[in-house]
Structure 1
């Protein structure tokens, strides 16, 4: 599949019609996706965050190399249905800060149990509340349809309903995953490489799922990096991060007896996923 998956050439050869339709969908102009309206949200507490409508590049227009690459990757990754990578993408698709935090356990080197990390979970929840309105504005700006909006191909989650009517660019999951990785890297700097690798894989799971184009995810990574940099400069952030750092160190050094180490099989899945990026 591309360079990462061995069956990609045969699959691509049999999906020219699908790829062509995907390219068309990927380049539909703003205002063309059905049924989505921007939901007004109250201004989040804290200083205004950087406006991604300014610093993010626009998604690839129709009939460009970037749009064709997005469509090809979407088509190629459909053959992963029911594979181990598919199952990892399904785990990564679970909603909630607690699930996202736990997903970084292998990368951290010990089990991150939200019940033992209330300060960290609260910090991530506040950051999510800060960035969600920003992401909604960004999505409304480009109003890009999801890859599966007009084409029935396998998805790793049942998201063809309301989510299908929400814009695709940039990926909120990739944005929040990158922010989570950045927080954990500040807390566990010796594990930065492993943690940010997991943040990458977490975003790529959205491509494997078929709910985002590849360029939605790369934009999400940029989005997360810029928004985290801004929030990290705020007055209360250092205090909140210190509280989270203390409880993470306590959990690492004194794990409760009932907390088991990260599952080796799941860790192996994550390592394999990191070596086979969808491209």
Structure 2
């Protein structure tokens, strides 16, 4: 029995040693949270499930559902990814990659985590059911399904937030970047997973978060380093 126990202990120790590098990999730290940016105080509550507003929004979704093209669906599916590299088409430079821009990548990892830290608590309070959960026989999303709260749209929040931050790094491309950020959010409606009012609330949330974190010293320092790296790589 002692021998067996010894082998078991060694096996567990080996397994922990192999797994520990993965466990030790720290998640990016948000720049702020729901205590500082309380969306419950910033946004109006979502429309009730049986309200005329919700019914009107579902009607809009159903209209889009029968008119969206395969190209629109593909774009919505691609925009499920929540990272700054989705702006590559408007940055339009082959150097705009994670491998070429490690400081920018690490900085935007924190930006993305900031959205979740602010938005998820509000979603959990409002618990607005997604369109496909409220009308499962009618609404057919083309993007991965979710049971999390629909309001506000986290994708739209992070897309708007990333857009504002990236536009501040590349003011020469501000209009194209912000248009892409708006599209990123609206693709959640195209995909059938959000109501239009979720998108509107997400845009407000993203701008509010951006305005808040821009005042933080750690944000300012990392922003300047990432901006310098980006502009140097792009030859700007």
Q: After TM superposition, is the score higher than 0.5?
A: yes
- Superposed displacement of residue 63, structure 1: 5.1
Task: Provide the C-alpha distance between the structure 2 equivalents of 1:174 and 1:77, rounded to a whole number of angstroms.
Answer: 18
SS in 1 for 2:131: coil
TM superposition score normalised by structure 2:
0.79
2:103 and 2:225 in contact (8 A); partners too: yes
Counterparts in 2 of 1:118 and 1:49: CA distance versus 1, 3 Å = farther
In structure 1, the gaps of 5 or more residues are: 1-42, 255-279
Residues 1-279 of structure 1: matches in 2 within 5 Å? 48-62=35-49, 64-80=51-67, 83-94=70-81, 96-97=82-83, 101-111=84-94, 112-149=96-133, 150-152=135-137, 153-159=139-145, 163=146, 165-253=147-235
Give per-residue Cα distances to partners, 1:79-126, cap 9 Å, x unaligned. 2455211111111013x43xxx22112222324212112111111111
Give per-residue Cα distances to partners, 1:2-28, cap 9 Å, x unaligned. xxxxxxxxxxxxxxxxxxxxxxxxxxx
Task: Provide the C-alpha distance between the structure 2 equivalents of 1:193 and 1:45, rounded to a whole number of angstroms.
Answer: 25
In structure 2, the gaps of 5 or more residues are: 1-28
Give per-residue Cα distances to partners, 1:18-57, cap 9 Å, x unaligned. xxxxxxxxxxxxxxxxxxxxxxxxx957574210010112
Q: Aligned-residue CA RMSD in angstroms?
A: 2.1
TM superposition score normalised by structure 1:
0.68
Question: Which 10-residue stretch deviates more, 245-254 or 132-141?
Answer: 245-254
